[in-house]
Structure 1
Amino acid sequence: MIIVRLDPRRPDPEKLKPVARVAARGGLVVYPTETVYGLGTNPLLEEAVERVYEAKQRPRNKPLPVLAASLQDVERIARLTPEARRLAEEYWPGPLTIILEAKPALPHTVTACTGRVAVRIPGHPVARLLARLAGGLIIGTSANISGMKPPRTLEEALRQLEGRGIEAAVDAGPTPLGRPSTIIDMTTKPPRLVRQGPIPWSEIERRTQH
């Protein structure tokens, strides 16, 4: 397994490239975000996405979130309504995941055949750079066995996912927030809170009502 250690604030792109190459070709990688450590691969490769479900023992009816390097990358896989774009421009990069209508470019394995995708631009410099180096998009689910505690450190993540096909990992120390992102569904009217996280729902609700 490739393990790369990086400064969380100033990650070296050259050191991260080997991990990005693994993700881009469909290998499984573990990496830090501002919330918890993530398990990633290329979301456009169906077989790679299947490996994420298997590694996490995640039910196939639960969609996988995607992290993007930029708004342009988000628009490759999802339809950004004006309202969703306003929220994205205000809170991204950051711990707000927005559920949007998926575009056909995204495999049904990612969306669990719902026609929707949960996406965000991460606030952690390592996660954002990794997404960019891997082609702009990377699966962004927590690096844990489904139902177990999401890991704040690489050590915790690898302990849970030992023997599950992880090919590369990035260690940038403990994650700053230590809890999963806030998730809102922008495919409903009015928008709906799916999971409370670091960004309060009351704050988002006020912004979506204007």
Structure 2
Amino acid sequence: MKEHSTIYIYPTDTVWGIGGSIYSESAFLQVMQIKKVQFPRPVSVLVSSLETLAQFVSLDDLPFSTEVLQKVFASECSLGVPLELLKQSVPTWIYQGSDSVLFRCLAYPWILQIVHDLGGAPIVTTSLNLTSDPPISDWEGAERFWQTYAADAKFIHKRECLQALPTFSPSGQASTIIFLKKAPAGCSGKQPCLQIVREGRFAAGIAELLLA
């Protein structure tokens, strides 16, 4: 796939994000530089549909239905999938030597447009902030960051979002992060073994969905 090195700044359901094509190491390194990250760290893969996710993960091998998965992603959740469940590899700079890849799924119109601009590539995504600061969740803060630290990036303006979704606003809360894990003793059958590494505002409901 053609490499697109353009950087984008965009709102998500939780906080503002910054990213580019998952196939562009240049985009990844630019994001790390903008955030002033001293040592590269794992980032997430943002897809715009479960159909795109299915290009990378065998959904039939997951211990829950696609209907449940859709509800999980609609609940401000990032899902860590073990590398052995990937049917298509992702670039190594995405997961930085870890044993899982984090996925998010959002179908906002501006996310669809970014994916289209990237030639269909998913987005390597992380929170918009300097590494020493909390993630940005407000429109004004995101615009200031763009103008100060990443003026060459393509910025998704408030008017674009509100024209598409008049009541849209990031929640301001970090997403729940849940990793699927290999089944240890005590986990059997199709019951998923989960590790919640960060609790967002819907963490309890997400765990209940996945374990139902």
Q: Classify the TM-score, shorter chain.
A: 0.7 to 0.9
In structure 1, the gaps of 5 or more residues are: 1-23
Match of 1:142 among 127, 131, 154: 127
Identity of aligned residues (%): 22
Q: Which residue of 1 aligns with 2:162?
A: none
User: Are residue 68 (structure 1) and residue 47 (structure 2) matched?
Assistant: yes
CA–CA distance in 1 between the matches of 2:181 and 2:58?
A: 10
1:112 aligns with 2:100: no
Q: Please, which of 38, 57, 81 is the counterpart of residue 100 of structure 1?
A: 81
Question: What is the root-mean-square deviation of aligned Cα atoms in Å?
Answer: 2.6
Scaled by the length of structure 1, the TM-score of the pair is 0.75
Q: Say how many residue pairs are matched.
A: 186
Distance 1:147 1:100 in 2: 27
Could you report, residue by residue, the CA deviation over 1:149-207 in whole angstroms, capped at 9, with x for unpaired residues?
2112343124335234642100126733111211101134420111111312x223333
**TM-score, with length taken from structure 2:** 0.74
State the distance in 2 between where 1:46 and 1:101 align.
22
* Partner in structure 2 of residue 151 of structure 1: 136
State how far apart, in whole Å, the 2-side matches of 1:178 and 1:139 are. Answer: 20
Report the equivalent of 2:187: none
For structure 2, list consecutive stretches of 5 or more residues without a partner in the other structure. Answer: 160-167, 184-192
The residue type equivalent to 2:137 in the other structure is: R
Rg larger for: 2
In structure 1, C-alpha distance between the alignment counterparts of 2:151 and 2:99, rounded to whole Å:
28
C-alpha distance in 2, partners of 1:133/1:115?
Answer: 30
Find the counterpart in structure 2 of residue 169 from structure 1. Answer: 155
Q: Which runs of 4+ in 1 moved over 6 A?
A: none
Change (3 A) 1:40 1:105: same
